[in-house]
Amino acid sequence: MIVGSTPSKMKSRTTSALVCVVAWVLVLGCSSTTEIPTPEKIGEKDRVNLITGAKAAAVVNRLHRNNVATGGDVIAEYGRTKKDLLYISAYPDGKKAKNAFDLMINKMRAARGGPFSHLMPIKKYGGKVYMTLGMGAVHYIIWSENHLLWLQTYQSFGNTLPPRLLELYSV
């Protein structure tokens, strides 16, 4: 027993220490979510902003007018004017990501008069990448393992994905 301490003071200190340990475990456990990597640069444009967490999920849901966010969503912005946007959603496994990719492609094919046109697969990527035009930009829809990516760009990549993106997300 510590001199000058009573059993109730020791119990209080022990309880306080236990509360602190539990709080640290919760903080560290909640903040240790896997980071979704994004390229520092796409084409000639540097990454200028990164939106994550609930804010990214809200943007994804608003764009789709439906609750489609996975909770593992990231939006990277590139360039200062006419920003390129890279949307990435992480899924628990590749099958769920592939199903979401197929659903998106099928809905886009069936849409009449929507904002996108000329949806076409990029053959060299074996059905894992589609390209479409819309809103003055080129859009690439990409399935990579357990990730679904959408790149909206004003740069010219033709039928090839940006190399820095392929370094992080193979197709």
pLDDT digits (tens, 9 = 90+) for 121-144: 999 999 999 999 999 999 999 999
Indicate whether 74 pLDDT > 50: yes
Contact present, 164 and 41 (Cβ < 8 Å): yes
Same domain, 97 and 114: yes
Same domain, 5 and 49: no
Identify which has the larger pLDDT, 25 or 11.
11
The secondary structure of 58-125 as a DSSP string is HHHHHHHTS----S-EEEEEESSSS-EEEEEEE-SSHHHHHHHHHHHHHHHHH-SS-S-EEEEE-GGG
pLDDT in the model for residue 35: 83
Contact present, 35 and 43 (Cβ < 8 Å): no
pLDDT in the model for residue 83: 96
Same domain, 97 and 28: no
For the chain, the average pLDDT equals: 81
Same domain, 106 and 132: yes
- Stated pTM of the model: 0.77
pLDDT band at 29 (very low <50, low <70, confident <90, very high): very low
Range name among 27-36, 86-95, 113-122, 161-170 with the lowest pLDDT average: 27-36
19 DSSP 8-state letter: H
Distance CA 169, CA 160 (A): 14
Same domain, 18 and 68: no
Same domain, 72 and 23: no
pLDDT digits (tens, 9 = 90+) for 110-122: 988 888 999 999 9
What does the pLDDT average to over 146-163?
95
Q: How many CA atoms lie within 13 A of 132 on its CB side?
A: 17
Range name among 25-39, 101-115, 141-155 with the lowest pLDDT average: 25-39
Same domain, 48 and 27: no
Q: Which of the residue ranges 2-6, 33-37, 40-44 has the most confident prediction, judged by mean pLDDT?
A: 40-44
Same domain, 7 and 63: no
Same domain, 46 and 25: no
The SS3 of residue 15 is: helix
Q: Would you say the C-alpha torsion 33, 48, 57, 163 has a positive or negative sign?
A: negative
**Residue 22's Cα: distance from chain center in Å?**
30
Same domain, 103 and 159: yes
**Domain limits for position 4:** 1-32
Number of domain units in the chain: 2
Same domain, 19 and 53: no
Same domain, 27 and 93: no
The SS3 of residue 155 is: coil
Q: How many CA atoms lie within 13 A of 113 on its CB side?
A: 0
